Amino acid sequence: MLFLEALERFENYLLYVKNCSKHTVRNYLLDLREFYSLQNHKKLQLSEITKSHVRSYLSFLYDKKSKSRTVHRKLSSLRSFARFCLENKWITTSAIFDIESPKREKTLPLIITYQQVEELFSQPDTSSLLGFRDRCIMELFYSSGIRLSELVALNRTDFHPKTKQIKVQGKGKKERVLPVTTTACKWLVQYLEHPERFQDTKEHKGQVDPCAIFLNKWGKRITTRSVDRNFQTYLKMSNIPEKITPHKIRHTIATHWLENGMDLKTIQMLLGHKALTTTTVYTHVSITLKKETYDKAHPRS
């Protein structure tokens, strides 16, 4: 079996059998195609792959100064592909299982203060439709801890203002319903009813996306790249030295929830974490929580 032929079948398996998101599938394919591109063999057979192929790939990654977390993920992609090939009996063994992954770096998520959240959120010019949209996006991030990919995928039918809830499709296409704060709900309603939004529809002669909540200046669904770029623009306008991304807002609200008494199981559900161990990292991040726990536990505090 040719590598590329098996890769095509693996893509279909991920999409239609495993029900993986397009983002997940894209990452798998990027890793596997990168591995394939280094082999200099247009008709590479699966059975021809040896330890030396995998080790040369690792050398390439280390030469690029890839982080151990990145190397770990790429090796994981290769192992998943190898397991798929073994299950289909295209190979009888794989060298990838003889290669050890590097130890993961234990890094804690970075968070910002509530004052910095307010500073960033005050930057968009809400007198314009796009500025109003960007403030609305920020409020929703901090309200629900939603992922960037989940936010841009939101449709109007996913938002329920009466119950103050949104329905999101997370990793693995798993749906969850999230509460929305009164503040974020008001911003969302006003954005969806914004008069310039309807003027925009007329200008584009009905070409505006009727389903998406968040639109770009051409009336199409906004992309993750655009949201990231807008965040960096507002960051430069502020006096905040830290690099703030949408994902950092997600880490921040999770930590603030914890500091204000929300239990880990609820935070896990809200964030859409598969394992509780992923959520417990916020107990190590919160300096406030550590101090409170120390003061309560120490007999002489």
Residues 128 and 237 grouped into a single domain: yes
Asked whether residue 280 is assigned to any structural domain, the reply reads no
Ramachandran angles phi, psi of 159, nearest 5°: -105, 125
Same domain? For 130 and 228 the reply is yes
Catalytic: 282?
A: yes
- Same domain assignment for residues 126 and 206: yes
E strand map for the chain: 159-160, 165-169, 175-179
Q: Which domain holds residue 90?
A: 3-98
Q: Is 268 within the bounds of a domain?
A: no
- Please tell me whether residues 15 and 92 are part of one structural domain: yes
Residue 254 maps to a domain: no
Q: Which tokens belong to 62?
A: 């280390």
Same domain, 152 and 238: yes
Is 247 noted as a catalytic residue in this protein?
Answer: yes
Angle between helices 22-37 and 68-87 (to 10 degrees): 90
Written as tens digits, the pLDDT of the chain (301 aa) is 899 999 999 999 999 898 887 888 999 999 999 999 988 767 889 988 888 888 899 899 989 888 888 888 999 999 999 999 999 999 998 888 887 776 666 666 678 888 899 999 999 999 999 999 999 999 999 999 999 999 999 999 999 999 999 999 877 778 899 999 999 999 999 999 998 876 654 555 557 788 999 999 888 999 999 999 999 999 999 988 878 889 889 888 988 888 888 888 888 888 888 887 777 777 666 665 556 555 665 565 4
Q: In this structure, are 237 and 130 located in the same domain?
A: yes
Q: Are residues 132 and 46 in the same domain?
A: no
171 is catalytic: yes
Task: Clarify whether 135 is annotated catalytic.
Answer: no
Alpha-carbon torsion 79, 83, 89, 95, what sign? positive
Give the list of residues 6+ apart from residue 178 with CB closer than 8 angstroms, or none.
144, 145, 146, 165, 166, 167, 168, 270
Q: Specify the CATH number for the domain of residue 93.
A: 1.10.150
Q: How far apart are CA 262 and CA 185, in angstroms?
A: 21
Of the listed 53, 74, 133, 250, which one is catalytic?
250
Joined together, the tokens standing for residue 237 give 């306008």
Q: Does 134 fall in a domain? A: yes
- In 3D space, the residue among 228, 260, 256 whose CA is nearest the CA of residue 115 turns out to be 256
What is the pTM (predicted TM-score) of this model?
0.66
